[in-house]
Structure 1
Amino acid sequence: MAPPILLPYVDTPSPEPALLAAAARLGHVLVPTSFDLTLLPPSCAYTILYTSPTAPSLDQITAWLDSGAERIILPCPAFDDAYASLPAGRLVQSFILGQETHKDYAALVLMRATEALPQQAIKAFQQAYAGEVLLWDESGTPTLEAIRAAAPLGVPVVVPLSQLTVGPTTKEKLNIADAFLAPVVSDRHDGLIPTVVSAYPQGGRTLGMVYSSRESVREALLSGKGVYFSRRHGLWRKGETSGATQDIVRIVADCDADCLEFQVVQHGAGFCHLATPSCFGNMSGIAALEGTLKQRFASAPEGSYTARLFGDPQLLRSKIMEEADELCAAETKEDVAFEAADLIYFALAKCVSKGVSVQDIERSLDRKAYKVTRRKGDAKPQWMQNGAASESSKAAAATNGNLAPDAPIQMRSYDLASVPPSQRAGMMKRPTLKSEEMIAKVRPIVDAVRLRGDAALRELTLKFDKADLGEVVIRPPFSQESMRLPADVKAAIDQAYKNVYAFHAAQADKTILEVETMPGVVCSRFARPIARVGLYVPGGTAVLPSTALMLGIPAQVAGCKEIVLATPPRPDGSIVPEVMYVASLVGATCILKAGGGQAVAAMAYGTETVPKVDKIFGPGNQWVTAAKMLVQNDTEALVAIDMPAGPSEVLVIADRTADAEFVAADLLSQAEHGVDSQVVLVAIDLTPEHLRSIELAVDRQARALPRVEIMKVSVSKSLIVKVNTVQEALQFSNEYAPEHLILHLEDAPGAVQYVQNAGSVFVGAYSPESCGDYASGTNHTLPTNGFARQFSGVNTQSFQKHITSQQVTKAGLGKLGPVVVTLAECEGLDAHANAVKVRLAALAKE
């Protein structure tokens, strides 16, 4: 309750409508228990004054609070110890001056005085109760002077509606506007009151700054319309000529009683004379979205997606459930924000289609907030798993058409021979990457780091990772304490390092290719390391030493001079010791304690302490991917990236020799990554019994694993493709171009020669994908989303660049020169031709 606000008390069962409406526009009223609350506008907050001589029951008080009352005022003797279970501040102790009070309930008191009180007496009561004090002077008709005297102490004055009027102030009654304005002062020579106009609800967005006179406030309060005072034209009734009128919801004074705020519902083109919603620009966020959806609902272009959305309730319902599924599955802060925004969009579309406004939603939220009783909070039976509520089970149910908790976890099955070409193309599709939308979202983050460097990094790391950093980078030598690990973990990392190093060392291009293309003309090609590389290792609370190994080792083998390893810090600002240890092994020259788009930006542009790099590697969420795509196209950054990234995927080809348990385990090893993971089984002429055994193994193994709820969703989206031959299976696989390809075949080694598109191949029953992820030696940073058609996985040569050279002798130029001159002149590039001609002329003189 704002300190200088007048608190009208509705002391009559049938108040004058205009007077009651004006009282409600002051934001808060006091009503007796007998008053019909339906007479109050929905936006008006109210406190109930208990008037019965008998104490109310706890249930009765709870019912009033649940129905929307902000507070209940009880006479001092009515207080009972049972009320202590109610939320603090929801009960107000009312007493007449001189009576004994219950100090336990004195957070807020209504002080009823039978004689006028000076400021000193009011102040003494404030100090005694160390909380809010309401003043009700019942000594006679209230005066403007009494209201004005209480205002500096922040004490709202209760005035019965029977002592207020919409007419002129008299000895018997105060004009309600005069009473409200009594404590309001202006430090301007013309007496005008600065007034902020804000949108209701729309998050309280400021529409503009105006001035009010006492006359304009009176008219606005009584008419319910936006009325202000123009220093040029006098009394200004907003929208009188433009049609952009306003409905007043609430008028409040600030804490110093020298400024007003008008909370309004704006109609028409907007508040500003430039026909924008606000004098400070357009609306943003939910307010802007609501405006756009309302406009589209009224006149969406025929054939547009929005028109389709509003015209197809089933599509809208499905999208809401889909986005709820994705929000439930999101884990990082960035992903949760992204998916929540999508869900809000479709949910608000549903609201607009039913005539529900954001204002209606906020009113409902306010009503819920006033409740002191809550239902148990368990989910409905169709969203429950084993009798316990689970967000992931809700996601699974949403995705699988309200999948029952005991429904089998199974894949969709297709016989390739009977699938039409149009549907076959759909089987190859991955989830749509919202690249443009994500780049627009990550751009402010990237720009902040580009422009403000370390300061922006600290702010963003505090915001996203809850880590308050001192230094944003760590440089070697790294402390032993930061790398302290259990012996078995250290030994496992050491063995993985040896294997991965051995394989990547063999990949290094150390030879010089020389070819004499014609006598006297020798062309060569040689490799050089990329000097400065950035390695992004997802983390925070996660522990991902494997990614640090897979990126750091080829950089080390290639001979990169600057290796910047970026990973999100833990809340205490430290890096997980596993990653610290790997950073030491691979020779990292700098560890950047940051994640997300901010880490990518820091490496791309450099900061005061973070070195700029030439190429950025590493997986990450959609924020990281979008930032990498953004900076690689910025000529100011001059940075390359390894490859686009998408959800993890595996394609398993199995014939009659395949072990059902092995196949199921391989499918689930990727299905657990996330609800968007892509899992495909290509079954070569399997019997129904064999295929059924694989499906049963998938269901059984998934239920025994911790991430079962994620797998319920990802497996339900996954495919079983039935084919007749190995050739058909590999043809489908090459068209699909999977990140991981696992061959459960009788002659798995013999099938490798037919593989054209895959990130990495796992040959035979005892080559699980997990080995490649961690320690066999191959790299696990691989192309996804079908990019295996164009990209290789990360390897040592990813960290090298190749330079060509040529050396031409005199004799060689004599033979090659005329060819070059002819081609240069053919293209009209005479200077090119001349560079050869002058040499040929010199040779001719010898």
Structure 2
Amino acid sequence: MVLPILPLIDDLASWNSKKEYVSLVGQVLLDGSSLSNEEILQFSKEEEVPLVALSLPSGKFSDDEIIAFLNNGVSSLFIASQDAKTAEHLVEQLNVPKERVVVEENGVFSNQFMVKQKFSQDKIVSIKKLSKDMLTKEVLGEVRTDRPDGLYTTLVVDQYERCLGLVYSSKKSIAKAIDLGRGVYYSRSRNEIWIKGETSGNGQKLLQISTDCDSDALKFIVEQENVGFCHLETMSCFGEFKHGLVGLESLLKQRLQDAPEESYTRRLFNDSALLDAKIKEEAEELTEAKGKKELSWEAADLFYFALAKLVANDVSLKDVENNLNMKHLKVTRRKGDAKPKFVGQPKAEEEKLTGPIHLDVVKASDKVGVQKALSRPIQKTSEIMHLVNPIIENVRDKGNSALLEYTEKFDGVKLSNPVLNAPFPEEYFEGLTEEMKEALDLSIENVRKFHAAQLPTETLEVETQPGVLCSRFPRPIEKVGLYIPGGTAILPSTALMLGVPAQVAQCKEIVFASPPRKSDGKVSPEVVYVAEKVGASKIVLAGGAQAVAAMAYGTETIPKVDKILGPGNQFVTAAKMYVQNDTQALCSIDMPAGPSEVLVIADEDADVDFVASDLLSQAEHGIDSQVILVGVNLSEKKIQEIQDAVHNQALQLPRVDIVRKCIAHSTIVLCDGYEEALEMSNQYAPEHLILQIANANDYVKLVDNAGSVFVGAYTPESCGDYSSGTNHTLPTYGYARQYSGANTATFQKFITAQNITPEGLENIGRAVMCVAKKEGLDGHRNAVKIRMSKLGLIPKDFQ
């Protein structure tokens, strides 16, 4: 049994300072109201605590996030009594095992999973208040004894739960064991506290303390040091352990240190290719083995070589066990099919679903359902940065050679030169039709008109006091790098949405970056055409994090830029965030980015075909696109008509497979009024907001958070994507709360100036000196005082 005390963690900084105490208890409660999704996953995945519970606040996390917690180390969910419906939803709708959902009853949480223990509110203690004295008090308050000498029977086991011996503890020895974090007991023969290993050197690190089911015996889990626990110099007082896997691991660790060079084990450690081959050989022999004796023989051989690889890479059996324990906690499972090369047949194509392509429907009053609908995909930032960092560092250090290496690796194209310089060769325009040129020219001109109108024509000047003239004037960012994604679609529209404002702002150098096509190593002629039209100096033939790094740091042939703009996948976004925070790069970015998204607000009078087409135009971007329809007073008939229109139109699209997967996690949210719908939209802060409602113009004033708004039935989002004139490089993932879409000012910085006359100095000088004196900055004060003294504006004896 674990101790009835439950340390509460509401910030990870506290955990780091109290880790040793919590380890002794063996359990922890994460405060879901204070910790973020990322922090919870980080803790549950990385920290080795046997029991990790999570207090689950209502509505904060989506269903997918909750399942992710349970799949990644969270053993139990603690839910307040008033949120019992959440518990019902988890068990009945998400199939979470009921023993992993703990609902408060009369101030008590009765945990049933892994360990059975009741935790009352007064036993849930902030980790910040946890101390050695508190732990000692809890242990002594829990355990009891009927022995005349008042000692407590104590079973000592190692980290693999193997029994080392049976000893006794006193109240003082327990307190000392907790204080030192060591194996400390009571010696009945010497009638004194016994610190294990103090004289023999065979000490113990105390890992955890628990009690048995009747609380009349203790269990100390320890890490045994040196030869063993027993005074006879055996690992256990009950004799040596059988060799087994733990013994084999210990032997291999020793052989790693001292095996002779000519030994087979040393050869395995020195020759990783041989070791890998032996693992594959033994695995194959195990699959071919028949009968109990042969199977056990071949399995033992496989375990030997597998364990040798673990030891060679500093991976312990305990690490493997922790991983197994994590997998045991999973509430969802992968399909588990073998890779094609192991089943001797090509990988089967994914089943093409044939059911209706419909959105889920929830009511706005269903807070859990709405929370799920408005939840965006989890961005695994730490995992992605782990992959991105070495790419960035390699390009930064090795320049073009690293860039060419990654282009061959990730794009499947072997190039001799990663840069296409202007003027661009005619061969790069092959395949560009006159119709496409005209379409691009129209779009470029409309975007130019709208962004040119944003360009400040005069210096802003304000006389704040007589003789004090303040001004503000723009200057273009000198060099900009524009990232044009490749991915599953050709995107010349992104090129013009970024290139035209850069040209309008008069940036001195514009650099494009776009991944080359696998077929011929070129970028699309449409992108090259736009690059020529906006005056780009070169096109970097690379994508991903490597392209971002090349522009941020520069290479032998690629200039270092001052700002990088443009959308991309999670690796591009991670790379942009990295270089933005690296002082060596001195490079800013436009905004963070996530998957494309649209929120449509429609009422009963909306044209269902228009609504469906707007939803699908965003759904075809990718399976992780966010598509939400907020319906205002929609009838059941209208909802079905929209669903039918979505299905019928989707089947006509060439990217129907992508659309089907996107719509599968998209939602119609039903509201009772326009104000409620706009409030929900502001909460979500969509990249694109489409108003297909009566008197749409009247509701624009209620929009607080959106990247771009499309007003009325005849304003599809597609027009803003290509040709209306507004910019389609917009904030996603809720960043519309803080960021604007790309505009002319995005490519400028603004400098302020001030011009002060003697009259102006007289008007503000005393205020400056007063504040400077208060801040203790005498140099600042003297800069004004000296001038005013020479002008005769203050007395000579002025202090």
Q: TM class, shorter-chain normalised? A: 0.5 to 0.7
CA distance in 1: counterparts of 2:378 and 2:447, whole angstroms: 33
Contact kept in structure 2, 1:540 and 1:569, CA below 8 Å: no
The equivalent of 1:648 in structure 2 is 596
Q: Output one character per residue of 1:669-727: Cα deviation in whole Å (capped at 9) or x when no partner.
A: 11111111111111111222112111111111112222222222211211111112211
What's the offset of the Cα at 1:271?
5.7
The equivalent of 1:411 in structure 2 is 359
What's the offset of the Cα at 1:458?
1.1
* Structure 1 segment 356-755 matched on structure 2, within 5 A: 368=343, 390-391=349-350, 393=352, 405-416=353-364, 418-420=365-367, 424-484=370-430, 485-539=432-486, 542-571=489-518, 572-755=520-703
What's the offset of the Cα at 1:428?
2.8
The equivalent of 1:295 in structure 2 is 321
Deviates more, 1:567-576 or 1:753-762: 567-576
Q: Which amino acid aligns with 1:419?
A: D
Q: Which amino acid aligns with 2:468?
A: V
What's the offset of the Cα at 1:474?
1.7
The equivalent of 2:311 in structure 1 is 277
Residue 779 of structure 2 corresponds to residue 820 of structure 1? no
Structure 1 residues 229, 716: CA separation in 2 closer, same or farther (over 3 Å shift)?
closer
The equivalent of 1:772 in structure 2 is 720
Structure 1 residues 732, 843: CA separation in 2 closer, same or farther (over 3 Å shift)?
same
Q: Which amino acid aligns with 1:765?
A: A
Q: Which amino acid aligns with 1:766?
A: Y
SS at match of 1:598: helix
CA distance in 1: counterparts of 2:550 and 2:268, whole angstroms: 51
CA distance in 1: counterparts of 2:612 and 2:585, whole angstroms: 45
Contact kept in structure 2, 1:762 and 1:769, CA below 8 Å: yes
Contact kept in structure 2, 1:513 and 1:524, CA below 8 Å: yes
SS at match of 2:458: coil
CA distance in 2: counterparts of 1:577 and 1:838, whole angstroms: 65
What's the offset of the Cα at 1:441?
0.6
* Structure 1 segment 341-356 matched on structure 2, within 5 A: none
What's the offset of the Cα at 1:505?
1.0
Q: Output one character per residue of 1:608-631: Cα deviation in whole Å (capped at 9) or x when no partner.
A: 100000100001111111111111
CA distance in 2: counterparts of 1:710 and 1:597, whole angstroms: 25
CA distance in 1: counterparts of 2:679 and 2:668, whole angstroms: 15
* Structure 1 segment 140-289 matched on structure 2, within 5 A: 226=265, 277-278=311-312, 282=314
Q: Which amino acid aligns with 1:452?
A: K
Structure 1 residues 845, 794: CA separation in 2 closer, same or farther (over 3 Å shift)?
closer
What's the offset of the Cα at 1:427?
3.7
SS at match of 2:510: strand
CA distance in 1: counterparts of 2:784 and 2:751, whole angstroms: 23
Structure 1 vs Structure 2: percent identity of aligned residues?
A: 51
Of 804, 817, 820, 2:752 maps to 804
CA distance in 1: counterparts of 2:461 and 2:267, whole angstroms: 85
The equivalent of 1:311 in structure 2 is 329
CA distance in 1: counterparts of 2:607 and 2:256, whole angstroms: 68
What's the offset of the Cα at 1:293?
6.4
What's the offset of the Cα at 1:510?
2.8
Q: Output one character per residue of 1:728-787: Cα deviation in whole Å (capped at 9) or x when no partner.
A: 111111111110011111111121111111101111111111111111111111101111
SS at match of 2:791: helix
| Structure 1: segments with no counterpart, 5+ residues | 1-198, 201-205, 218-225, 231-245, 251-262, 301-305, 322-346, 352-360, 380-389, 394-404
Q: Which amino acid aligns with 1:475?
A: N
CA distance in 2: counterparts of 1:782 and 1:605, whole angstroms: 25
SS at match of 1:414: strand
Runs of 4+ in 1 over 3 A off after TM superposition: 206-213, 226-230, 246-250, 263-272, 422-427
Contact kept in structure 1, 2:363 and 2:370, CA below 8 Å: no
CA distance in 2: counterparts of 1:573 and 1:524, whole angstroms: 49
CA distance in 1: counterparts of 2:450 and 2:258, whole angstroms: 68
Contact kept in structure 2, 1:513 and 1:526, CA below 8 Å: yes
CA distance in 2: counterparts of 1:767 and 1:700, whole angstroms: 22
Q: Which amino acid aligns with 2:311?
A: P
- TM-score between both structures, scaled by the size of structure 2: 0.60
* Structure 1 segment 96-111 matched on structure 2, within 5 A: none
Contact kept in structure 1, 2:260 and 2:266, CA below 8 Å: no
Contact kept in structure 2, 1:652 and 1:663, CA below 8 Å: yes
SS at match of 2:453: helix
The equivalent of 2:58 in structure 1 is none
SS at match of 2:792: helix
Contact kept in structure 2, 1:730 and 1:754, CA below 8 Å: yes
Contact kept in structure 2, 1:531 and 1:560, CA below 8 Å: yes
Q: Which amino acid aligns with 1:469?
A: L
Structure 1 residues 703, 311: CA separation in 2 closer, same or farther (over 3 Å shift)?
same
Deviates more, 1:702-711 or 1:556-565: 702-711
Contact kept in structure 2, 1:210 and 1:228, CA below 8 Å: no
The size of the alignment, in residue pairs, is 516
CA distance in 2: counterparts of 1:365 and 1:488, whole angstroms: 47
SS at match of 2:551: helix
Contact kept in structure 1, 2:259 and 2:266, CA below 8 Å: no
CA distance in 2: counterparts of 1:229 and 1:599, whole angstroms: 40
CA distance in 1: counterparts of 2:256 and 2:378, whole angstroms: 38
Deviates more, 1:474-483 or 1:601-610: 474-483
SS at match of 1:277: helix
CA distance in 1: counterparts of 2:734 and 2:620, whole angstroms: 20
Structure 1 residues 210, 461: CA separation in 2 closer, same or farther (over 3 Å shift)?
farther
The equivalent of 2:160 in structure 1 is none
Structure 1 residues 297, 591: CA separation in 2 closer, same or farther (over 3 Å shift)?
closer
* Structure 1 segment 118-133 matched on structure 2, within 5 A: none
CA distance in 1: counterparts of 2:281 and 2:512, whole angstroms: 54
Contact kept in structure 1, 2:370 and 2:669, CA below 8 Å: no
Structure 1 residues 229, 694: CA separation in 2 closer, same or farther (over 3 Å shift)?
closer
SS at match of 2:751: strand
CA distance in 2: counterparts of 1:676 and 1:541, whole angstroms: 13
Structure 1 residues 835, 631: CA separation in 2 closer, same or farther (over 3 Å shift)?
same
SS at match of 1:316: coil
Residue 707 of structure 2 corresponds to residue 759 of structure 1? yes
SS at match of 2:624: coil
The equivalent of 1:357 in structure 2 is none
CA distance in 1: counterparts of 2:710 and 2:320, whole angstroms: 53
CA distance in 2: counterparts of 1:248 and 1:470, whole angstroms: 38
CA distance in 1: counterparts of 2:660 and 2:279, whole angstroms: 51
CA distance in 1: counterparts of 2:771 and 2:434, whole angstroms: 67
Q: Which amino acid aligns with 1:445?
A: I
SS at match of 2:379: coil
SS at match of 1:410: coil
